[in-house]
A and B are shown apart, each in its own frame.
Chain A
């Protein structure tokens, strides 16, 4: 296999393969013939000016576009060689495999514990109460939130600070042991300290998950990602190792965006 630049992919395992993906919102052609390979256990950053289709592409990967009236997706997307747009594919199972963290923290109006336990309960992942507790605690620990909330697991998740809420949402997403985690500007509503924590977390999560993160911050992309994909007006302009994209981009548009000439 090779990535969209045609260069051979090194030993790294490919987790997600998108081929000729087009998305239409009613008549609007929002994503145009996107080909992208995402490597397992790496962080891939999606960058590009506002409205270029980053969120749209992200939503293709867990089929959240199904929820949008008038949205239509063509092309193929496969995760572990399995086409996720097959007719008889179980979307519920797909979304358990592909978790998502949103731009604005959206904890449910439930206790911290129940927020994290929500997914495992729905998918029947825990046989006993002790198992469930085990899952919740591990997820909170992985999300780096456990120490801060261990004494108030029964308090409302909505009572946490913005940064804590976002980490709670990450814990909620990893509680169902997904393989891929999609993050749409996960730090845009957070202050620098909370952002630093989440970035650190993303870097740690890479051990166990494949992560795709949309960001508007060049520094963030440079800090957390191994691979970077640059989108422009619905097209994937360039994808490559983060270092290469930021130091020596192949495309003029990429260069312009990175150096802040537009976007």
Chain B
């Protein structure tokens, strides 16, 4: 809250320096704004930036360093016997002190020393805050004054401001990239820890998956099995079923909408189809569990087939329905991107509409359609909610769609839900699975986007 006020103060300061800078520029021009290199407002922005940015950096740095510095100062003034505490106890104590200091309510202090230290801490915090505000104000004014001195009609304020804006944009994108890289690296390092315990080839090629770890060393079945092949096959089976549903339906719908449908029908149908994509996946999962699975089981029973209530078939079908709009809208885009001149060329030879679609339009759009399907596959492989709700938990190595299988995403969820130690192989295996998932979907996306891009280039 206080920090917010400080930032508002800084903003106000910058705003007033903007005015100062602007009027300084106008005065320097002596009424002939034409001789100014840039518009007057750019001089204002230039001064305001010099005021605001260094001061803002100071605040950020100050807030980042404050806890560490205060901690060191407080430890210095602690009574000798408390200073000698083991590090863990010391941290505990400091935490309590901070807690007390932040509320300013010492009634629950664990002892008189703690209370004294907390009071001291609070006092230091107050000083620090004042120092920070003073530092910020002086740095802001100094920066502004420095910038004001540069304001002359020939000064290229616009270029400077443009440069600052660009730097800010670069900073933002670099930040986004760094966060992504950070996530990937943490995935990688946790996976490496896992592979230090379970060899990579056992993980990639092992046929049995039961990630239970012993709580006591003498427990039965104490060593878990971390062969991920059943998870991969389960994922593939469900994705395959999903694609078998989504590709024909989505593609045919796209062909109809793009080539045959009346524009008025298309205007209604296309948004409706895309609305399917807006249904939360948890609703699809619910639908799979409550409607599709029991239906398939009943159907199986009437045919004397045993269909598991968590069958890969039911899950795959529902997932396929979820992916239909994905396939149809991507295919629709590429089909519409096929130049009209090709269709006319075909009609002019006497081809019928079906011949034109099948022999000219679809072949021309094929690379784009394939790209869209690959994107849909990566969507299917990474889909979590539907499979968590509708697919099984136990890892069967089977190609029978009536049995229950589990997927990589389901296992990641079950491995991490609940209280876990973060260094047991069981937990770490989730990171390894996540890494594999990431690599596969990344590869699919890269290939798919390249295919689509090549296709676009051909007709642009």
On whether the beta carbons of B349 and A173 are closer than 8 Å, the reply is yes
CB distance B350 to A67 under 8 Å? Answer: no
**Which of these, A93, A95, A110, contacts B348 with CB under 8 Å?**
A95
Residue of A95, A106, A173, A176 near B339 (CB, 8 A) is A106
Contacting residue for A67 out of B339, B347, B359, CB 8 A: B347
Query: Which of chain B's residues has its CB closest to A95's CB?
Result: B350
* B105 interfacial by beta-carbon distance below 8 Å: no
Contact A108 B346 (CB under 8 A): yes
A162 CB within 8 Å of chain B: no
Per DSSP, are chain B's interface residues mostly helix, strand or loop, or mixed?
helix
Contact, CB under 8 Å: B349 / A172: yes
A106 to B364, CA, bound (A): 12
A122 touches B364 (CB 8 A): no
Q: Give Cα A106–Cα B458 distance, bound, in whole angstroms.
A: 13
Asked if B124 CB lies within 8 Å of chain A CBs, one says no
Q: Are B347 and A95 in contact (CB under 8 A)?
A: yes
Q: Is B344 an interface residue (CB 8 A)?
A: yes
Distance, CA A94 to CA B350, complexed state (A):
7
Contact partner, B349, options A95, A104, A107, Cβ 8 Å: A95
**Residue pair B341, A104 in contact (C-beta under 8 Å):** yes
Minimum Cβ distance to chain B for residue A101 (Å): 8
Question: Is there an interface contact between A108 and B360, defined as CB atoms closer than 8 Å?
Answer: yes
Within 8 A of B (CB), among A93-150: 93-96, 99-100, 102, 104, 106-110, 118-119, 122-123
Q: How large is the interface on B (under 10, 10 to 19, 20 to 34, 35 or more residues)?
A: 10 to 19
Contact residues, B305-354 vs A (CB, 8 A)? 339, 341-342, 344-352
Number of A interface residues at 8 Å Cβ cutoff, please give it.
27
A96–B363 contact, CB under 8 A?
no
Contact of B344 among A102, A107, A173 (CB under 8 A): A102
Least Cβ distance of A136 to chain B in Å? Answer: 14
Closest-by-CB residue of B relative to A93 is: B350
Q: Is the interface of A mostly helix, strand, loop or mixed?
A: helix
How many angstroms from the CA of A100 to the CA of B347 in the assembled complex? 10
CB-CB < 8 A to B274: which residues of A?
none
> Contacts A92-B352, A118-B349, A122-B355; is A109 near B344 (CB within 8 Å)?
no
Task: Find out whether the CB atom of B350 lies under 8 angstroms from the CB atom of A118.
Answer: no
Q: Mark A175-200, 1 if CB is under 8 A from B, else 0.
A: 01000000000000000000000000
A102 lies within 8 A of B345 (CB): yes
Nearest CB in chain B: distance from A89 CB, A: 12
Q: Which chain A residues numbered 38 to 72 have a C-beta less than 8 Å away from chain B?
A: 62, 64, 67
- Give the residues in chain B near A123, CB-CB below 8 Å: 350
Given the complex of chains A and B, what is the CA–CA distance between A100 and B360 in angstroms?
Answer: 17
* B350 cross-chain contacts in A, Cβ below 8 A: 91-96, 119, 122-123, 176
Q: How far is the CB of B350 from chain A (nearest CB, A)?
A: 4
Determine whether the beta carbon of B363 is less than 8 Å from that of A106: no
**Contacts known (A109-B364, A109-B458, A118-B359); A169 close to B345, Cβ less than 8 A:** yes
- State the Cβ distance, B353 to closest chain A Cβ, in Å: 10
CB-based contact A102/B363 at 8 Å: no
Q: Is B348 a contact partner of A118 (Cβ separation < 8 A)? A: no
Question: Do A92 and B341 contact each other (CB < 8 Å), given the known contacts A109-B364, A109-B458, A118-B359?
Answer: no
Q: Taking CB as reference atom, which chain B residue is nearest A123?
A: B350
* A/B interface sample: 20 pairs, CB < 8 A: A64-B344, A64-B348, A92-B350, A93-B350, A95-B350, A100-B348, A106-B341, A107-B345, A108-B345, A108-B363, A109-B364, A110-B363, A118-B349, A118-B351, A119-B350, A119-B351, A122-B349, A122-B351, A122-B359, A173-B349
- Supply 18 further A-B pairs (C-beta < 8 A) apart from A122-B359, A123-B350, A176-B349: A64-B347, A92-B352, A93-B350, A94-B350, A95-B348, A95-B350, A102-B344, A104-B341, A106-B341, A106-B342, A106-B345, A109-B363, A109-B364, A109-B458, A110-B363, A119-B349, A119-B350, A158-B458
